[in-house]
Structure 1
Amino acid sequence: MKYVTKFLWSKRESIPIVLGTLRRDVWLLYVLYYKILLQWVMRKRKNETIAKSLDNIVNEGEGDRVCFYFGKEKWTYKQIQELSFRVSNHFQGVGLRKGDSVGLAMTNRPEMAAIWVGLGRIGVITVLINTNLRGDSLETCVSVVKCKAFIMGTEQKEAMSEIRHGKRKDLLCPNIYELDRFMEEDKKPLYQDSSFPTIDMASCLLKAGSEPTSVAKDQQPNYLDPLLYLFTSGTTGTPKAVSCSHGRLNFLASTASTINFSSNDVIYSAPPMYHLAGLFAPIWAFVYRAPAVLAVKFSASNFWNDIHFYNATVCMYVGEFCRFLHNQPVKPELEQGHKLRAFFGGGGLRPEVWAAFQKRFNVKTFVDIYASTEGNCTMINLQAKIGACGYIPIWFQPIHPIQLVKIDQITGEIIRDANTGFAIRCEDGESGELIGKIVDSVPMSRFDGYTDTEATERKIARNVFIQGDKYFRSGDSFSRDKYGYYYFQDRIGDTFRWEGENVATTLVEAVISRILQMRNNIVYGVKVEGTEGCAGMAAILDCNDENLDIQSLAEGMKKSLPRYAMPMFIRFVASNKGLDMTGTLKFQKFRLRNDGFDFEKIADPIFIYSTATESYSKMDLEKYREVKRGNYRF
């Protein structure tokens, strides 16, 4: 109470601002606590799992409504329900029980959603695997959760084959199912590779039958039971599996109320379903009875054709999605006259892109949401304030569960008051880490943690403002203006964001070290003109361009890293002089990060990556200026 009184007194000059933002703040509270929280509570009381939401649609006579558009295909709710029954019937028949896990590596398609809904009917948790991962990164991901079975799309067979025939082949369970597409009328036999035999999942599903699955009472899933495991790189750099319950997914569904989403809408979604952003569309389809368009991947050149073809009204976006669209040649006949009324998503949309995008494409509503796979620091920008991720009313800040605290920019540790031992809140205009108070009884404040208990503990700060409190550490640096708007600054520590994905620097460093026979290297993110997030940069220590084959390094990294984790710049550091080391004998990245890729300042050789040639070339003044102008194609 003492802090609240002191805070309010310090803000007495802000009374005009408080009054000026009162309408905004009342609307926020109405949306959060009436539209979102109330929906969540009502579904919890009915124990409405995702499968039950789907069943309600069919049972109420709307099973023939379109649930998913996929290419020229139309999948009805009844078809998705029946396929999900086939999935649950089969895996129940082979002995899977509530709490077991099944891996799923597959690109977007209707069958993918039906699989995790079907497994969820019998309480089995689906582990969604990032389909971009290869080599070491994929092995690490697969090893985190012990799966009783594994389902892969045919397009993932080559990547999984590398594990099956690698040194850690025991990581994959014996029961590997393969599914291309499921067509009841036109079933084609699955081609079998003798070196990597798999189980034909389509045949298994046809035999399983589409009648409703009978589940014993003690095996039935509940609202707060996990439905999915999603992976996040986190701030420590190792992949961690995050439990995602039916309730958390219903919370995602409730956010649709911010744009008055209804059954009359059509949502277009290109983010992959292994990503939290890719789950909004299928969940909204199940809860709001509105069809979702599932794109296999995002195509900037074909985007507006799709929007017109499907009459899409809402679009999910993430990362650099909007910048890619804005960089496309102008097509007036496609960019105007569409029915797209709202963009919903997040990923740190740059202010200059936001304003220009809205003007050019005539999209009236932008709802930018800040959230992480596992976190509880969710914020929504309901006012379309350009550049902001959300806002907290000024008068609500001292008691709000989300706080902004000062951190040591070198170590990343929370700075504490020398007298009290508690964290120090940031003032307006100061940068700090966003943290969220952990309250298990409130859906917006829960932190269910990871499958790794040690990793869970590392994300929790204790005794932050009072003895015994607990806060989730987001690992993200933010600043706040005097109106209560929050602005994303950067990732903290050993991760950065590129192309809408978290890149774990420690994993990239490990790959480079292995390729270069344990040579010291440092990986970090650097800001690049005209792009979202940070581009990866690797500094190879004690090195010059005469004793290292840059192209061999590139080939090695391509085999072990997803495309978005490839360093865009490589710096050969001839001397380590001036690079301080931490107490744990790690080189500090602070100076290197500040240097960036400044060709006019750095004497060391710098190489730049081209996605067109998939190779590195030496940086020169012309390329440097091209990057600075924002014209270089990474």
Structure 2
Amino acid sequence: MPKAAIIPHSRYMYGCLSLYCMSNLNDSDIFYNPLPLYHSAGGIVGVGQCLLFGLTVLIRRKFSASNFWNDCYKHKCTATNYIGETCRYILAAHKKDDPVPKHKVTKMVGNGLRAEIWEEFQKTFNVKQIFEFYGSTEGNANLINIDNTIGAVGFVPPLAPHSVCHVDLIRCDDETKEPLRTKDGLCIRCEPGQPGLMIGRIDPKKSINQFAGYVDRKETNKKILENVFSHGDSYFNTGDVLVKDELGYYYFVDRTGDTYRWKGENVSTTEVEKVVSEAVGLKDCVAYGVEVPKHEGKAGMLAIVDADHKLDKDALVQQLKTHLPSYAIPLFLRITRSVPMTGTFKIKKNELRKEGFSEVTGDEVYFLDMKSGKYVPVAQICDKIREGTLKL
């Protein structure tokens, strides 16, 4: 179960207000909210605009990609929210030969829109403005992209003094994601182009910088970094790795736990998924590491939704070899009818990790045979892999 986060009224109001102002909403907007209210995307980003600013908010019981634009058109909605993979589902439900759906939506606010489909989504549905933001329900490190820069989750002017900006990136260990520190015990700020942990300054005296944490105090303490840039200060550790460019735009890189190590190298599942998406289009795909008996680290594995059995495995292998180093190419491939999802359309990777490559029932699992360069049924060689007699 997710940790129970403490949300003071001040934080709720700040979350609603910041998105209202930064995404240029006004009381004449009609806001379409198809997301669950127990999540901040629906309960704050969506319903909060009604409670605090009087916007008309349309609530849908359950998200539907096929009815998304029909609902917006029917109720004359001008703004809406998204999260996770919802934009990809909406795009997948639209056939290329279909006309552009009629609607009046000009603003979409949310997070999780993949850079690979951003431009296609915006052009296909003629959405004027995408407001992609970065943040978490309980955290105080928040950013927003207000100018449609593809892939960016936020922007901070490079000339803004650190005393004014409460978010920052710090250097961290590639494997453990623990902050790197100087001889004085302080953290090291990232330069443009250097990936690092996103952190937010904690100041109990300012509501926008507070971190109320969780009901479980031990969990709260795990997220607090102390003595970051000066002795005595404290910051909220998001656990996410981002990178900023020289212009001040921030881009999501990886989430702690999503990186695995194989053949002495760190593999970013985000990078693998980006390459796979180019080969499989709008199909659900997820990359993760699985344990292999008698081998150090974790081998890469892919789970791809292919209910209609149209996946070209040979073309997939070619795409992987062309764009990934050899150690990052997934050794295992799982073809499935669906992947486990949360209520907010985020893939449950932990469930897939636990099943590994040998405890899967009902799905086809393949192993990448290096000699033939093809994915072959894992059942043929599963015993050899377990016994460690097959060289990986």
Provide the TM-score with structure 2 as the length reference: 0.72
8 Å Cα contact 2:27-2:55 kept in structure 1: yes
Tell me the residue number matched to 2:40. 276
Please state if 1:249 is matched with 2:16: no
Cα distance in 1 between the residues matched to 2:39 and 2:191: 33
- 1:535 corresponds, among 282, 286, 295, to 286
Greater Rg over alpha carbons, structure: 1
User: Is 1:439–2:203 an aligned residue pair?
Assistant: yes
Shift in Å at residue 329 of structure 1? 3.0
Aligned-residue offset at 1:352: 2.8
| Aligned CA-pair RMSD | 3.2
- SS of 1:377's equivalent in the other structure is coil
Deviation sequence 1:34-56 (CA, Å, 0-9, x none): xxxxxxxxxxxxxxxxxxxxxxx
Would the aligned equivalents of 1:490 and 1:533 in 2 still touch at CA under 8 Å?
no
Secondary structure class of the residue paired with 1:411: coil
Residue of structure 2 aligned with 1:466, choices 222, 230, 236: 230
User: Structure 2: which amino acid aligns with 1:405?
Assistant: I
Cα distance change of structure 1 residues 297 and 334 upon mapping to structure 2, 3 Å threshold: farther
Question: How far off is 1:576 after superposition?
Answer: 2.1
Instruction: Give the counterpart letter for 1:479 in structure 2.
Output: V
Q: How does 1:217-366 map to 2 (within 5 A)?
A: 239-254=2-17, 255-279=19-43, 280-330=45-95, 335-347=100-112, 349-366=113-130
1:125-164 to 2 correspondence within 5 Å? 141=1
Deviations 1:26-81 (A, max 9, x none): xxxxxxxxxxxxxxxxxxxxxxxxxxxxxxxxxxxxxxxxxxxxxxxxxxxxxxxx
Q: 1:307 to 1:272 in 2, by over 3 A?
A: same
Local SS of the residue matching 2:4: strand
| SS, match of residue 123 in structure 2 | helix
The residue type equivalent to 2:8 in the other structure is S
Contact 1:368 1:382 in 2 (8 A): yes
> 8 Å contact 2:16–2:52 — kept in the other structure?
yes
Residues 616-627 of structure 1: pairs in structure 2 closer than 5 A: 616-619=363-366
Separation of aligned partners in 2, 1:469 and 1:339: 47
Question: Residue type matched to 1:289 in 2?
Answer: G
Q: Secondary structure in 2 aligned to 1:389?
A: strand
User: How far apart are the structure 1 equivalents of 2:374 and 2:15?
Assistant: 43
8 Å Cα contact 2:34-2:61 kept in structure 1: yes
CA deviation profile, 1:496-526 (whole Å, cap 9, x unmatched): 9xxxxxxxx9xxxxxxxxxxxxxxxxxx956
Q: CA-to-partner distance for each residue in 1:131-182, whole Å, 9 max, x for gaps?
A: xxxxxxxxxx4xxxxxxxxxxxxxxxxxxxxxxxxxxxxxxxxxxxxxxxxx
Residue identity matched to 2:86 = F
CA–CA distance in structure 2, aligned partners of residues 277 and 442 of structure 1? 23
Identify if the C-alpha distance between structure 1 residues 617 and 443 changes in structure 2 by more than 3 Å, giving closer, same or farther: same
**Hey, what's the Cα distance between the residues in 2 that align with 1:471 and 1:306?**
42
Q: For residue 69 of structure 1, what is the aligned residue in structure 2? A: none
The CA deviation at 1:260 is 2.6
Q: Does residue 378 of structure 1 match 2:129? A: no
Q: Could you tell me which amino acid in structure 2 is paired with residue 377 of structure 1?
A: A
Decide whether aligned partners of structure 1 residues 302 and 470 sit closer, same or farther in structure 2, where only a CA change above 3 A counts.
same
Q: Distance in 1 between matches of 2:374 and 2:10?
A: 50
2:294 is equivalent to residue 576 of structure 1: yes
Q: Structure 1 residue 444: deviation in Å? A: 2.2
TM-score normalised according to structure 1 size: 0.46
Return closer, same or farther for 1:447/1:605 CA change in 2, 3 Å cut-off.
Answer: closer
SS where residue 398 of structure 1 aligns? Answer: coil
What's 2:349 paired with?
A: none
* Native 8 Å contact 2:242 2:251 kept in 1: yes
SS of the aligned residue for 2:185 comes to coil
Matches of 2:70 and 2:156, distance apart in 1: 38
Can you list the C-alpha shifts for 1:268-307, whole angstroms capped at 9, x where unaligned?
A: 1112112110112211111221221111222111111111
Query: Aligned-pair distance for 1:374?
Result: 0.7
Q: Give the gaps of 5 or more residues in structure 1.
A: 1-140, 142-238, 497-504, 506-523, 542-572, 580-588, 626-634
* Change in 2 beyond 3 A, CA 1:612/1:606: closer
Deviations 1:461-487 (A, max 9, x none): 000111100000000000110001100
The 1-side partners of 2:78 and 2:337 are apart by 35
Secondary structure of the structure 2 residue equivalent to 1:396: coil
CA offset digits 1:303-355 (Å, max 9, x no partner): 111111111110101111111222223388863442111001112x2223111
CA-to-partner distance for each residue in 1:562-613, whole Å, 9 max, x for gaps?
xxxxxxxxxxx2x32334xxxxxxxxx5xx35x7689787897654332299
**Inter-CA distance 281–612: structure 2 relative to 1 (3 Å threshold):** closer
Q: Which amino acid aligns with 2:28?
A: N
Count, aligned residues: 314
Q: Which has the higher strand share?
A: 2
Whichever residue aligns with residue 336 of structure 2, its letter is: Y
Matched, 1:415 2:166: no
Letter in 2 for 1:343: M
Query: Which residue pairs with 1:610 in the alignment?
Result: 337
- Whether the 8 Å contact between 1:266 and 1:292 is mirrored in structure 2 is yes
User: Post-superposition shift, 1:389?
Assistant: 0.6
CA contact (8 A) 1:305 1:334 kept: no
Taking a change above 3 Å as real, the CA distance of residues 604 and 261 of structure 1, as seen in their structure-2 partners, is closer
Percent of aligned pairs with the same residue?
A: 34
Tell me the distance in 2 between the aligned counterparts of 1:469 and 1:605. 45
SS at match of 1:395: coil
State which of 165, 188, 193 in structure 2 corresponds to 1:424: 188
